[in-house]
Every structure is written in structure tokens, then in C-alpha cells.
Structure 1
Amino acid sequence: MSAYLLPVVLLIASNVFMTVAWYGHLKYSTAPLWAVVIISWSIAFIEYWMAVPANRIGHQVYSTAQLKTIQEVITLVVFVGFSTFYLKEPPSLTTVAGFVLIGLGAMLVFKG
């Protein structure tokens, strides 16, 4: 897989894990906070095994700013899907509009 595509695939996977680590516990509000933190940290540990190589490999062909931008756009897309389908909290129109503006800003990073 190319140095252009592999980092994107790894960042998608890492963002799925990180989103689950950060927000998955919200469905389990009665779980003890200490347990949620340990479980979330364990999930995030797996995420790091994808995010760090994604950035190392990606830096061969992308600038650091481009890598961060790719990661942020992926984060928003993964978050919207997770929020909508797992938490049953679809984004409002204003949230979607805000995310679109962020996406437009991301395009500027790649134009420069």
C-alpha cells in the first residue's frame, strides 16, 4: 500500500478506536469512573499503535500540517457516524454546517 494511502487507512482505524475510547462509555453512565478510565485508556493504547505509524509513514509524503488536517477531518467523519449510529445522537444542521466549514478550512491547508 502506498505512503499516500496507508496513513489514511491507519488514521481511520485509529480514530474509530479513539472515538470508542472517548465516547463509548457514555452509554454506560452507571459504570464506575475508575473502570471507564482504565478501559478507555486500554482502547486508546491500541489506537496509538495505529496513529503513530500513520504519522511516521505519512510524513514521507505529507507535511505535518497536512497529516494533522487529514486526522481532524477523519475524526469528524468518524464522530458523526459514531454519534448517530451508536449514541443515537445525530448532528444538528448547525453542527453539520460547522463541520463543513472545518472541511473547507482543511482544503486550504492542501492548497498552500
Structure 2
Amino acid sequence: MPAGMTLTPLALLVASNLFMTIAWYGHLKFTDTRLWIVILASWGIALIEYCFAVPANRIGYLHGWSAGQLKIAQEIITLLVFAGFAVLVLGEQLGWRHVGAFACMVGAACFMFLGRN
């Protein structure tokens, strides 16, 4: 990680993605609940997510992260958080395709963090 970059954006992005994953996919455990109720609940959870995401991006950008670096870091964190959620909450299994997709994202991150231009 280049000098001056802080890990604070990563911690905030992890928190942000935990809330966003719950907002987007948590309702799948409550299929008997009316759609308008889960939409409102999801909006409320997403508001909390924004309280982490906006500072993550602001702090990261002010400490030397480029917008592209912030975005690719967010996408990798999203995949990790979602994979855990899919397994632990939704009871889904991960396979070789998930590993391959994640490896491609890590490759993309390597390109984004090599130099500034």
C-alpha cells in the first residue's frame, strides 16, 4: 500500500457492506413478509450503510486512494461479505465458479493498486 494510505477506509467499507448485504438480501429469509415492508426495512438499513460508505470514500480519497482503488476495494469486500452471508444466513454452497470469480477480482485489484496512472 502506498505511503500515506490508511486502512480506515477498508474497515469502514467492511461495515458498510455488512449493512448493505443485509439490506439487499436479508429479506430473502422473510418471504412471507409483505414486499412494501421489506422495502422500507431495507431502506432503513441502507441509510446506516451510507453512514459508513460515504466516510470510507471521503477518508480514503483524502489519504491517497484513487476513486478506482476505492471502488475495486469495495467490490472485493462486497464479494467476501456476500459469500459469508450466502453460506451462513442463506445456507448456500460456494463452488469453483465463486473461487474463480473472486480470483479475477483480486487480479483486477492488483492492476488498480500498481502505480497511480
TM-score, shorter chain, exceeding 0.5: yes
Aligned residue in 2 for 1:110: 113
RMSD between aligned residues: 1.3
**How far apart, CA to CA, are the structure 1 residues paired with 2:12 and 2:26?**
20
Maintained 8 Å contact 1:3/1:57: no
Q: Give the deviation of 1:36 after TM superposition.
A: 0.5
Q: Give the deviation of 1:107 after TM superposition.
A: 1.1
Maintained 8 Å contact 2:87/2:94: yes
Superposition map of 1:29-108 within 5 A: 29-60=31-62, 61-108=64-111
* 3-state secondary structure, aligned to 1:59: helix
Give the paired residue count.
111
Ranges in structure 1 where 5+ consecutive residues have no aligned partner: none
**How far apart, CA to CA, are the structure 2 residues paired with 1:3 and 1:97?**
29
Maintained 8 Å contact 2:72/2:108: no
Q: Give the deviation of 1:73 after TM superposition.
A: 0.6
Ranges in structure 2 where 5+ consecutive residues have no aligned partner: none
Residue type at the aligned position of 2:69: Q
* 3-state secondary structure, aligned to 1:65: helix
2:62 equivalent to 1:23: no
Residue type at the aligned position of 1:106: A
**How far apart, CA to CA, are the structure 2 residues paired with 1:41 and 1:71?**
20
